[in-house]
Amino acid sequence: MLKNVAAVLLDGVHPFELGVVCEVFGLDRSDEGLPVYDFAVASAEGAVLSTHAGFSVQTEHGLDRLEEADLIAVPAGESYVHRAYPEELLAALRRATERGARVLSVCSGVFVLGAAGLLDGRRCAVHWRHAAELAVRHPRARVEPDVLYVDEGTVITSAGTAAGIDACLHIVREEHGVEVANAIARRMVVPPHRDGGQAQYVERPLPHSPCDTVGSVLAWMEEHLDEEITVERLAARAHMSQRTFARRFQQETGTTPYRWLLRQRVLLAQELLERSDETVEAIAGRAGFGNAAAMRHQFLRALGTTPNAYRRTFRGPQAA
């Protein structure tokens, strides 16, 4: 049973990500019959640490505090992606997992876990902006850029900022059950569980590839997403055979015409759900899905959520 929790900090820690861990595990909610954790904040680099927001934090605990923790949280921090980490911290994290304790990273804190060798052979999550760098730095890790968090037993990793809340509540739900996690979520005024993954939060400018031969066809496709578009039709516009067109398209865009078209339709639907008052059925027609059921199916595959849930997230419940 989870009883002892420590958050370990490096210089440049992000206050919000630290605050997430403190809010979930560091508050006394015994008046509501909720668990109380033996919680502490420990430093890996001296008693006084800077934050990326311009103020400092002070703690009396050092790395020795980690030796008795059931859960060690590593919040994100400034320059965590590229900096070096104290070997004493990395060794402490390894010892923790070896004795059965769990470690949790929030956003770029995952790079600390990677430096300790705790991502090797494991699935892991990180903010979508850092996913490519994490994969390069730790090629034995299985980076999943579309999810909010990943639970690999002793190692839990989460994506950016608020995804740390999702991961913390997941741990509470596992340790103490749904009712306790829901009660803490209500106190925090956050959903106890969010639908979908972080794919729905990624910046979505329409991609324009530096194409030599299919660029004009791509521009035409973007203008006619609501129409039935076939490879035969596209090849004719490009004055190529279907086989040559499909090969050139793959070479210049890195994907197939069908997948490129599907992605553009999802992007357009996202924009319309956020910015217009049209019904889901009408948006499905404008985006080329034909009907709301087909669009719902493709949203679930691409974003892990439904059109209505997406609209509620980005426009509020009154828009659904």
Query: Rounded distance, CA 200 to CA 198, Å?
Result: 5
- pLDDT, one tens digit for every residue, the chain (320 residues): 899 999 999 999 999 999 999 999 999 999 999 999 999 999 999 999 999 999 999 999 999 999 999 999 999 998 888 899 999 999 999 999 999 999 999 999 999 999 999 999 999 999 989 999 999 999 999 999 888 999 999 999 999 888 999 999 999 988 998 889 989 998 998 877 776 677 666 655 444 445 567 888 888 998 899 999 999 999 999 999 999 999 888 887 778 899 889 988 998 998 899 889 999 999 999 999 999 999 999 999 888 899 999 888 877 655 54
Query: Rounded distance, CA 320 to CA 308, Å?
Result: 6
Specify whether the CB–CB gap between 12 and 79 falls below 8 A. Answer: yes
Helices (H) and strands (E) in the chain, counts: 13, 10
List the beta bridge partners of residue 72: 6, 103
Residues 142, 156, 309: CA angle, nearest 5 degrees = 85
**Domain limits of the chain?**
4-200, 215-319
User: What integer pLDDT is reported at residue 208 of this predicted model?
Assistant: 47
CATH number attached to the domain at 215-319: 1.10.10.60
Give the three-state DSSP class for 124. strand
User: What integer pLDDT is reported at residue 203 of this predicted model?
Assistant: 58
Residues in the chain: 320
Matching CATH number, 4-200, of 3.20.20.70, 3.30.420.130, 3.40.50.150, 3.40.50.880: 3.40.50.880
Which has the closest alpha carbon to 159: 169, 168, 149, 171? Answer: 149
Query: Rounded distance, CA 298 to CA 306, Å?
Result: 9
Write down the pTM of the prediction: 0.68
Specify whether the CB–CB gap between 56 and 48 falls below 8 A. Answer: yes
Q: Tell which phi-psi region holds residue 147, choosing left (phi > 0), alpha (psi between -120 and 50) or beta.
A: beta
Query: Rounded distance, CA 157 to CA 256, Å?
Result: 32
Task: Name the residue type at position 57.
Answer: V
User: What integer pLDDT is reported at residue 222 of this predicted model?
Assistant: 86
